[in-house]
Structure 1
Amino acid sequence: MRTLCASTLIGEFFVIGFAGLVAMKNPDLSMATVWTVCGIAMVLSVLLCGMITRPGGVQLGWALQLGLIASGFVVPMMFILGVVFAGLWWASVHYGRKVDEAKARFARQETAVAAATGPEAG
């Protein structure tokens, strides 16, 4: 799960940065505000890569997805990109857990085969 989720988060890192560049064109927003918000979101996306398997990591990822969708009020294209990345996030979590379960099942089978064959296998 970690690899799939981290890949999604790194993609979001770049999308947030590019959205910040677009948001700078908005005359109602100061450059400091844009880059403070974008910077926090970008740092959060990178930090979440290491926190995925910890308690609350996936939930923080969902919060980031909601923030990405909400950023559409500043950069309208982010409504679409936010929904796309929320879908990618769901797929990363859902299928990542299935991959983790399959890996664990395979490891148990390998251990059982190694225990059944005994020391003569080596």
Structure 2
Amino acid sequence: MRTLCASTLLGEFFVIGFAGLVAMKLDDVSMAAVWTVCGIGMALSLLLCGMITRPGGIQLGWALQAALVLSGFVVPMMFILGLVFGGLWWASVHYGRKVDEAKARWADQQGRQEAGEATA
């Protein structure tokens, strides 16, 4: 799960940065505000790459997804990109857990086979 989620978060890092470049062109938002918010979002996406397996890591990832969708009120294209990355986040968490379960079953099965061979 960690690899899939980290890949999604890394993609979001770049999307947030590019959204900041687009938001710089807006007249009603200061450049300092744009880069403060984008900087926090980019830093959070990188920090979350290492926190996925820790308690609350997945929930913080969902909070980042919500913030990405809500950023559409400033840059309208972010509504679409936020929903796309929300879907990617869901898939990363959902299928990542399935992969982790399959790996655990395989490791357990290999351990049993090795134990059986050692006693024979």
Return the alpha-carbon distance in structure 1 between the equivalents of residues 107 and 100 of structure 2.
11
SS at match of 2:108: helix
Q: Among all aligned residue pairs of Structure 1 and Structure 2, give the percentage whose two residues are the same amino acid.
A: 77
Q: Residue 17 of structure 1 aligns to which amino acid in structure 2?
A: G
CA distance in 1, matches of 2:72, 2:29: 14
What is the CA distance between 1:20 and its match in structure 2? 0.2
Which residues in structure 2 correspond to 1:33-48 (within 5 Å)? 33-48=33-48
The CA distance in 2 between the partners of 1:62 and 1:15, in whole Å, is 16
Displacement of 1:119: 6.8
Q: Does 1:53 align with 2:53?
A: yes
Structure-2 separation of matches of 1:119 and 1:106: 20
User: Which residue in 2 is equivalent to 1:31?
Assistant: 31
SS at match of 1:54: coil
In 2: Cα distance, 1:50 partner to 1:101 partner: 20
* Structure 2 equivalent of residue 109 of structure 1: 109
Cα deviation digits, residues 43-96 of structure 1 (max 9, x gap): 000000000000000000000000000000000000000000000000000000
Specify the code of the residue in structure 1 equivalent to 2:59. Q
Matches within 5 A, 1:1-122: 1-118=1-118
Give the aligned residue type for 2:98. Answer: K
* Corresponding residue SS for 1:118: helix
Return 5+ residue gaps in structure 2 as ranges. none
Q: Give the superposition deviation at 1:19.
A: 0.2
CA–CA separation in structure 2 for the residues paired with 1:22 and 1:102: 42
CA RMSD across the alignment: 0.9
Which AA in structure 1 matches 2:56? G
